[in-house]
Amino acid sequence: MLDKASKIYVAGHHGLVGSAIWNNLQQRGYTNLTGRSHQELDLTDQVAVKRFFDEERPEAVVLAAAFVGGIMANSLYRADFIMMNMKIQCNVISEAYAHGVEKLLFLGSTCIYPKNAPQPMKEDCLLTSPLEYTNEEYAIAKIAGLKMCESYNLQYGTNYLAVMPTNLYGPNDNFHLENSHVMPAMMRKIYLAKLIHEGKWEMIAVDLNKRPVEGVDGSSQSDDIREILAKYGIYDNKVVLWGTGTPLREFLWSEDMADASVHVLLNVNFSDIIGIEKYSSVHYGASTSGAVDRNHSAGRGGAIPKLGEIRNCHINVGTGKELTIRELSELVAKAVGFEGTIEFDASKPDGTMRKLIDVSKLHSLGWTHKVEIEEGVKRLFDWYRSTL
């Protein structure tokens, strides 16, 4: 079991989820935390990752680092999405095992589920039909990650868990228009369209200096700014968004996701997920330190016959509630104070039409969300404004 002195490595601790997990752990009194920025440690570099684990020797790992983006980025950088994420996962999980890490939590995404999966999506619908094409590479990488955790547990008796969050938003979200997710992109577009209409070019300059768009920043000429923003559907009091606005989406406040993740890390074991109380005694050695006995051979070969087939051990994390993209745009407009026009370009892809997850497994493990979408949208805009 992890205690307050346990060293916990949070991979991706500057990101949307990783930073929230780091803060949540600190608030709970877990202060022996370690993290590295991408500049300090390239997780795609196997040698560097091994060196980090040799030096730090963490007792637990939260793998929240990933190469991420929205529909546009997924379409443009398909090779990067599968290769970068597979490298990160393979390096961190293999070194965690090699260094005797007691507990590992892998963060995936609900994009792992088939495009036409029955709604709401239960964990058991994984790999039952084709994926959504626009994010297939990212989804395949994440499926591989959760299967790594599952397979290490079955072969080596490790205690690696995988959580699959729905669409996340919150502090430290990515608002760069080229590769951000739907809500922050939408929020920034609506905010900039409002500023253009109000003629507040000094505030537009502040925004673009903080987050330039394709090299255009606050020092650029107003015509150049208008031109680059128009490329992203941002006009004077008007915003054009991709798709029809009809897809349904579920959103989870990132600090809620962090709380769920830490809850699972601290309170849930693989034996709880598969519902076999004796699993741990079958797999784990009798080490008084609680560490896995690497020489213990029971169950090796990937299965314990008496337990039957074990799969889909990951945990969905979300709210179990959804709204349309159009409804989301209305909530964002209200939070921003935008009274202009929001149009939808139906010639652009919608992505998956519905992505609601079943969160009954998560609820059975003792956790439910706290922040509803209306409040969360307001909080996100307040945070965004605070960064300018």
The yes-or-no answer on residue 138 being catalytic is yes
How deeply is 339 buried, as exposed, middle or buried, from its count of CB atoms within 10 A (0-12, 13-18, 19+)?
exposed
Candidates 9, 30, 113, 138; catalytic one: 138
Determine which helix (DSSP H) or strand (DSSP E) holds 347, and give its type and residue range: none
Beta-sheet strand order (sheet of 60-63)? 33-34, 8-11, 60-63, 103-107, 160-165, 315-317
Per-residue tokens: 251: 């959103």
**What single-letter amino acid sits at 14?**
H
Determine which helix (DSSP H) or strand (DSSP E) holds 359, and give its type and residue range: none
- Per DSSP, the residues of 38-65 read TTT--TT-HHHHHHHHHHH--SEEEE--
Among all chains, which residue has been given the structure tokens 């619908």?
125
Give residue 122's region: left, alpha or beta (phi > 0; psi -120 to 50).
beta
Residue 107 φ then ψ, to 5°: -105, 125
Catalytic residues: 138
